[in-house]
Structure 1
Amino acid sequence: MTNFERGVSALQEGNLEEAANYLTKEIEENPTNSLAYVNFGQLLLTMGDVERACRFFEKALEIDPELAAAHYAVGTVYFEDGKFELAKNHFQHCVKLGMDDSDVFFMIGLCCVNNGEDRFALPFFQRAIELDESDLDALFQYGLCLAKLEMLEEAKQSLEKVLTLDESHSDAHYNLGIIDMFNDDVEGAKVHFEKAIEHQHDHMLAMHALKVIENKES
């Protein structure tokens, strides 16, 4: 195995010090290995050193401006920093470069949601689900977007799929309860709100919704 392969393996196993040693050696011996810089940046992110991580990602892009892994890493940093438009640009560049997995489409969708562009987020969440039908986060966010756009039947179907994969998903129960309320199914709503609280005891929104129903019934 090369120093790079050993470094990546150590990083995946969580052996950060060992990974740092191997990746440092790789960069010293092969300073144009852009993926070594990406992986060292990921190591720094794991350690919470965002500023230095960015410098390594930028170095990777300096060596190879078309390296999808580096664009994804930079996009993630921008996303965590609340710079959603910049993040979206990097994630979309990943797609242009041929990255075709659920994570990148999910992240583009999340950027759209955080920019208040729920309608634009829908096709990206859809694509994420096409690529990974068991992607709970994409299914949930897709259902949430549909609900916000008042496409309630479609939203209900997506959120119900979430529950088939994870019956304890409290936020899916809560939002299904809200949809039931809109459809005047009070009993159905109560069941979902109670389930949300059962699976997350401090689910304040579900508790408030239940209290509203109880006040109306009393």
Structure 2
Amino acid sequence: MDKNKQGIEFLQQGKIEKALELFTEAIEENPQDAIGYVNFANVLVSVGENERAETFLKRAIQLDDKAAAAYYSYGNLLFNKEKYNQAASFFEKAIQNGMNSNDGYYMLGMCFVHLGRNELALPYLMRSVELDETDNEARFQYALALAQSEAYSEAISHLEKVVKLDPQHADALYNLSVAYAMTDEQPHKVLQLLNKALEIQPDHLLALNVKKVIEQEFQK
């Protein structure tokens, strides 16, 4: 078996030392192959050695400036450092160089979410959901972006799918209640959703606050 593939299997099993050993051998045997450096960097990131990881990712890009995996990993590293502008640039390069999985589009969309650029986040989050309809977190974030754009009917449609896949998703239930409230849904429906959210997460402050406001309206 290819040492890079075998190393990835060890990494997925949590066998960090074994993975590092195989990735080191892969680099020694093929020092001009960027993928070995990317894999080694990913292990370093997993154990919190970000500076060393950055060195390996820079080397990977020097060897192959079209290595989508290197740009994606570098983007993740920068995202975790909250350097969202820089991270977005690397995710864009990953996509430009052939990364067509939902992960790249999702992470690029989330960069723009953190930068407060909802209008830029929307198309990437939408594409992420199109590429993998089972990714519930991507769908949830896309729904939030839709709601932020006041596209409440579309947001409701996606939030309902999120809740169908994960009935215990308190945040989705809360945001669904708000979206219903914004479309003039009956207050009892909104309360029903808020109560479900609070059953799952009793300390959900946003849900508690909205519920209090609605109940006060009922008492008038």
Q: TM-score, normalised by structure 2?
A: 0.93
Cα deviation code 1:131-180 (max 9, x no counterpart): 11111112111111111111111111111111121121111110111122
Match of 1:7 in 2: 7
Q: CA deviation at 1:190?
A: 0.6
For 1:137-216, what aligned pairs fall within 5 Å after superposition? 137-182=137-182, 183-216=184-217
Q: CA deviation at 1:184?
A: 5.0
Q: Which amino acid aligns with 1:202?
A: D
Partners of 1:81 and 1:131 in 2: CA distance? 27
Q: CA deviation at 1:35?
A: 0.8
Match of 2:85 in 1: 85
Match of 1:101 in 2: 101
Cα deviation code 1:7-41 (max 9, x no counterpart): 23222221101111222222223221211111111
The runs of 5 or more residues in structure 2 that have no matched partner are none
Match of 2:44, SS state, is helix
Match of 1:133 in 2: 133
Partners of 2:18 and 2:95 in 1: CA distance? 32
Partners of 1:106 and 1:34 in 2: CA distance? 24
Cα 1:176/1:8, change in 2 over 3 Å:
closer
Partners of 1:5 and 1:163 in 2: CA distance? 36
Cα 1:180/1:91, change in 2 over 3 Å:
same
Are residue 60 (structure 1) and residue 60 (structure 2) matched? yes
Partners of 1:130 and 1:190 in 2: CA distance? 31
Q: CA deviation at 1:188?
A: 1.0
Cα deviation code 1:66-122 (max 9, x no counterpart): 100000000011111111111111111111111111111111111111111112211
Partners of 1:203 and 1:84 in 2: CA distance? 28
Percent identity between matched residues is 39
The runs of 5 or more residues in structure 1 that have no matched partner are none
Match of 1:32 in 2: 32
Contact 2:180/2:190 (<8 A) preserved: yes
Cα 1:181/1:8, change in 2 over 3 Å:
closer
Contact 2:112/2:121 (<8 A) preserved: yes
Match of 1:121 in 2: 121
Partners of 2:50 and 2:37 in 1: CA distance? 14
Q: CA deviation at 1:2?
A: 4.3
Q: Which amino acid aligns with 1:101?
A: S
Q: Number of residues paired by the alignment?
A: 218
Match of 1:18 in 2: 18
Q: CA deviation at 1:202?
A: 2.0
Q: TM-score, normalised by structure 1?
A: 0.94
